[in-house]
Amino acid sequence: MESATKKAVLNRLKSALGHMNGILQMVEEDRYCIEVIKQIQAVEAALARTSQLILDDHLHSCLITAVRGDDPSERERALREISEVFNKQDR
């Protein structure tokens, strides 16, 4: 993973973790349900953006390397991995 991407991913994950700890505390304190839901949605959005950063890095490094390579089975494997990731998101 590219250094700048790794730093951005780690920062987003740490932020999401902080929000998750806040959500736990909110539930323990019986905070208003809508406030809890809004915080959960914020964490989901942060994780989705983090996933997008990692995928973008993967597409521009690992996938390109596989597609440009001479091994057809490696190209197929790399493309199948990407397809499987998106198929899981649709479920």
Low-confidence ranges of the chain (pLDDT < 50): none
pLDDT score for 44: 95
Note the maximum CA span of the chain: 58
CA 35 → CA 14, 15, 16, 42, distances in Å?
Answer: 21, 18, 16, 11
Tell me the domains of the chain and their CATH numbers: 3-89 (1.20.58.1000)
pLDDT score for 89: 67
What percentage of the chain carries pLDDT values higher than 90?
Answer: 59
pLDDT score for 91: 59
Q: What is the pTM of this model?
A: 0.78
C-beta separation of 67 from 78 below 8 A: yes
